Amino acid sequence: MGKNLNDIKKPIFYFSSTLTEGNRNMRDILGSKGANLAEMTSIGLPVPPGFTITTTTCAEFYATGQKLSRGLINDIHKYIGRLERDTGKHFGSNSNPLLLSVRSGAAVSMPGMMDTVLNLGLNDQSLQGLEQATGNRRFALDAYRRLINMFGDVVMGIDHHHFEAELDRIKKRHRAKQDTDLNVNGLKAVIDAYKQIYKKHTRQDFPQDPYEQLQKAVEAVFHSWNIPRAIAYRRINDIRGLLGTAVNIQTMVFGNMGNDSGTGVAFTRDPTSGENVLYGEFLINAQGEDVVAGIRTPEPVLKIKAWRPDIYRQLLATKQLLEKHYKDMQDVEFTIEQGKLFILQTRTGKRTGNAAVKIAVDMVRERLITRKTALMRVPPNDLNQLLLPSFIDKAKGNVLTKGLPASPGAASGYPVFTADEAVEKKEKGTKVILVRKETSPEDIHGMDAAEGILTSTGGTTSHAAVVARGWGKCCITGAADIIIDEANRTLRINGTLIRGSDVISIDGSTGEVMLGDIPRKRPGFSKEFYTLMQWADKTRKLEIRTNADTPADARVARRFGAAGIGLCRTEHMFFGEKRILAMREMILADNTTARRKALKKLLPYQRRDFEGIFTAMKDLPVTVRLIDPPLHEFLPQEITTQQRVAKDLGLSLDYIQRRVDQLHEINPMLGHRGCRLTVTYPEILEMQVRAIVEAAINCRRRHINAMPEIMIPLIGVDKELSMLRELVLRTITAVKAEKQYDGKLAIPIGTMIEIPRAALTADEIAVHADFFSFGTNDLTQMTLGYSRDDIGSFLPEYLDKQILPHNPFQTIDMIGVGQLVDMAVTKGRSVKEKLKCGICGEHGGDPDSITFFASVNLDYVSCSPFRVPVARLAAAQAVLKNQLDLFI
């Protein structure tokens, strides 16, 4: 892909209008920012010149004792020389000094996670030079104090608050409200104070040698690659296989050189709606970091039109050029220095699921990309956001305030004020909204744990907004009316006091903040969504079914495009008020006759349930799984309930307690459940099969084409299946005869493959099965020996230490569990060539797992109703990924 192998040894790549050594395809070694700076320079965009130190160099830095090599330092000097020639400025000069920014940049964008130093090259001498070159003493002093602060903090690890406190003290003394109110004397005092802080904490003077500054800064960027928060970000976002970070060293431009200067962030399309308009925010007379950090609330980018129509036209042209070139929506950082536009960075813009769909489909229409590319463009998980509920308008009630709609969705929860509190409460099952003045990378884990995020400052491109949008998490920023009292754990919104015990609701699509737990509704879909889904359906080979136990779920899934039910659990049906009593009567029975009597009471309920589901899924298959959980799950564990049940069933409390004790299991996961129950109590199976067949016959007689399939869970030994299959067939025949039904009613009988032994002996089992359905939840538990209920005690550490690449209950463990799936499909089809194979574990809705399932030739995946569109798209991508593998 245009990358020369020798390039890897080259430690530095230069970019300027006179020479550009890199390009966009080199993000592995230049990082994504560096590759794009080179690319943008090549296509003629006004990028301040500079150079990039490669990720390979970072890897080498770690391999060789975390020191910069002599050779590298020499190279840096050489390239600084070239930069001096190209800019006509001189590093450390007392007349026209070259100032640099030093930024990290890995191959994958990690917003805010890596460290940056600006204004590098300033010292007591070049300060004079900057003042001379700009004619602005105040500006020069401000730049210098920023450098000492940033350098001290980022490079030398001096806590930011030392600088902040000193600044506040001096501002107070000079009666300055804002930083900008400080005059030259004030700034001088700040610089002196900062130098003292620097010395106190490092026992060295602030370095006056600009090369020493640069060298230390480069080292700091390299170090920042492996600080805990960077590692955590990579883990949370499942980013792996990178060499390290690149370092971008670039000529400084200043958006804070007066009112003809400014800085901003622009998206080439609206990242929330996907609309084809220039979108973003800017601040006049500000440094770039001010926008991202959310300290001042910026203006919409559209307002540049009024302020500087020439710049706005340039920005529109840049948008066109970038999209034509990159063929995707871009997220651009720009700075206007004294009326001149500079582009500092471009990268693929993060977007909501909604926007991803619209942009992909629109770009096909605009002939920028092909349908295949469009399908690959939308991360399947992002579709979840489209399916996110929104609040029912009428139920909204009193809106307390309105912030910026930073990431769509609707969330309710108890307010929490720190990231740790969010995690803590989440672990206890409490839904929370993280409420902060602003968020920073330190808050990542709390943002992950919260239902939604609400900040009182910051714009729609602030840290909170960018991260939340990336995750599809509901977020409101810049809700300025909110006063947070972290100490008392309360917040006050326009006079209303909200405590930690009050639920609040936030609407990420409107920015509205409300009191109480507002009811939500399911969303409608855009026409672009339907278009994309159509393309996906034409492309994919996997059939997508759903896991649904009720007619309502079945209807939802059908609307989302499910081609049938792959898993209809029957046990939830036993939990209704009257049913549970009959169920308990059945379990407590100590002989077959009593058990049959209780089962007879359950029959009408089950039949009615099945009729409802078959009707909702008419003309489509419904795979009913026979009873699965251990019986003790249905028995009351608490004495009061036990007493009530004893009374209701006319049994002694003692008897019930004895029975509960008897049925208790040490490891219920590996106990008396699944088909083991119907082996020992065949009458349960008979009742369930009877209910299915009677329901199907009733439907057919109402001209509703019920298509039941019967699935027997937890098979481990072929004889279990052959015996139970026999019993199912006998029951079907008996019920048909009894109901004098002589229509065609072929009911396939299959099994779940969820015990390792079943996979290992799939050739023996397939003889008795019309289909296989992989229960990858249980298969994962047994293959890895992880109880899903107990994994919390070690999984986080396993992920941290990278023993596991991901939670195996989210994405299938392909090497282990996947090997068994593959083996079972192969063995099963070795005796039944056309054996239908599907999967109905939760992995059925996980895109990476779906790619795997496609690769082992499953016929279908079955997932929860709201994952059906995700699965449809992921299945299409699985096909396309294979094509890409073939042709590139």
Residues marked as catalytic: 463, 840
User: Cβ atoms within 10 A of the Cβ of 77, count?
Assistant: 12
d(CA 57, CA 415): 45
Task: Identify the residue whose tokens are 């939308």.
Answer: 378
Nearest residue to 254 via CA among 49, 74, 391, 99: 99
* Shortest reach from residue 791's CB to a copy of itself, in Å: 8
- Segment interacting with a copy of itself, rule: CB under 8 A, options 518-526, 571-579, 591-599, 801-809: 801-809
* Shortest reach from residue 223's CB to a copy of itself, in Å: 23
299 - beta bridge partners?
282
Cβ–Cβ < 8 Å for 788, 821: no
Task: Identify the residue whose tokens are 């440094």.
Answer: 287
* Shortest reach from residue 784's CB to a copy of itself, in Å: 5
Contacts of 297 (CB under 8 A, 6+ apart): 457, 458, 459, 478, 480
Q: Does the footprint of a copy of itself cover residue 767 (CB under 8 A)?
A: no
Given CA atoms 281, 286, 287, 292 in this order, what sign does their dihedral have? negative
Q: Does the footprint of a copy of itself cover residue 789 (CB under 8 A)?
A: yes
Both tokens of 884, joined, read 């890409």
Given CA atoms 226, 231, 233, 237 in this order, what sign does their dihedral have? positive
* Shortest reach from residue 686's CB to a copy of itself, in Å: 16
Q: Does the footprint of a copy of itself cover residue 714 (CB under 8 A)?
A: yes
Task: Identify the residue whose tokens are 């230390």.
Answer: 216
Q: Between residue 802 and residue 821, which ones bind a copy of itself under the rule CB under 8 A? A: 802-804, 813, 815-817, 819-820
DSSP 459-486: -TTSHHHHHHHHHT-EEEE--TTEEEET
Q: Residue length, the chain?
A: 888
Q: Does the footprint of a copy of itself cover residue 530 (CB under 8 A)?
A: no
> Helix 718-738 and helix 682-701: axis angle, to 10°?
40
The only residue of 280, 508, 756, 841 in contact with a copy of itself, by rule CB under 8 A: 756
* Shortest reach from residue 788's CB to a copy of itself, in Å: 9
Q: CB-hemisphere CA count at 13 Å for 167?
A: 16
* Shortest reach from residue 817's CB to a copy of itself, in Å: 7
- Segment interacting with a copy of itself, rule: CB under 8 A, options 85-93, 156-164, 233-241, 669-677: 669-677
Both tokens of 666, joined, read 């040490």
Tell me how far the alpha carbon of residue 90 is from its chain's centroid.
45
Q: Does the footprint of a copy of itself cover residue 671 (CB under 8 A)?
A: yes
- What DSSP state is assigned to residue 238? T
Q: Does the footprint of a copy of itself cover residue 783 (CB under 8 A)?
A: yes
Nearest residue to 407 via CA among 333, 480, 471: 471
Q: Which is nearer to a copy of itself, 39 or 720 (CB)?
A: 720
* Shortest reach from residue 764's CB to a copy of itself, in Å: 8
Q: Does the footprint of a copy of itself cover residue 413 (CB under 8 A)?
A: no
Q: Does the footprint of a copy of itself cover residue 591 (CB under 8 A)?
A: no
d(CA 279, CA 294): 17
Contacts of 882 (CB under 8 A, 6+ apart): 854, 855
- Segment interacting with a copy of itself, rule: CB under 8 A, options 113-121, 301-309, 690-698, 781-789: 781-789
* Shortest reach from residue 144's CB to a copy of itself, in Å: 44
Both tokens of 352, joined, read 């909501």
DSSP 788-815: TTTGGGTHHHHHHTTSSSS-TTTS--II
> Helix 160-173 and helix 137-150: axis angle, to 10°?
150
Q: Does the footprint of a copy of itself cover residue 777 (CB under 8 A)?
A: no
Q: Between residue 468 and residue 527, which ones bind a copy of itself under the rule CB under 8 A? A: none
Q: Does the footprint of a copy of itself cover residue 676 (CB under 8 A)?
A: yes
- Segment interacting with a copy of itself, rule: CB under 8 A, options 26-34, 689-697, 795-803, 833-841: 795-803
Q: Which is nearer to a copy of itself, 224 or 781 (CB)?
A: 781
Q: Does the footprint of a copy of itself cover residue 678 (CB under 8 A)?
A: no
Q: Which is nearer to a copy of itself, 442 or 790 (CB)?
A: 790
Q: What is the contact mask toward a copy of itself in residues 611 to 650, using x (rule: CB under 8 A)?
A: ----------------------------------------
**Count of helices and strands (H, E) across the chain:** 34, 34
Q: Which is nearer to a copy of itself, 3 or 757 (CB)?
A: 757
> Could you tell me how many residues of this chain bind a copy of itself (CB under 8 A)?
48
Q: Which is nearer to a copy of itself, 194 or 786 (CB)?
A: 786
* Shortest reach from residue 396's CB to a copy of itself, in Å: 40
Q: Does the footprint of a copy of itself cover residue 235 (CB under 8 A)?
A: no
Q: Does the footprint of a copy of itself cover residue 672 (CB under 8 A)?
A: yes
Contacts of 788 (CB under 8 A, 6+ apart): 777, 780, 781, 809
Q: Write out the residues near a copy of itself by the rule CB under 8 A.
A: 665-672, 676, 679-680, 714, 716-717, 719-720, 723, 754-757, 760-761, 764, 778, 781-787, 789-790, 793-794, 797-798, 801-804, 813, 815-817, 819-820
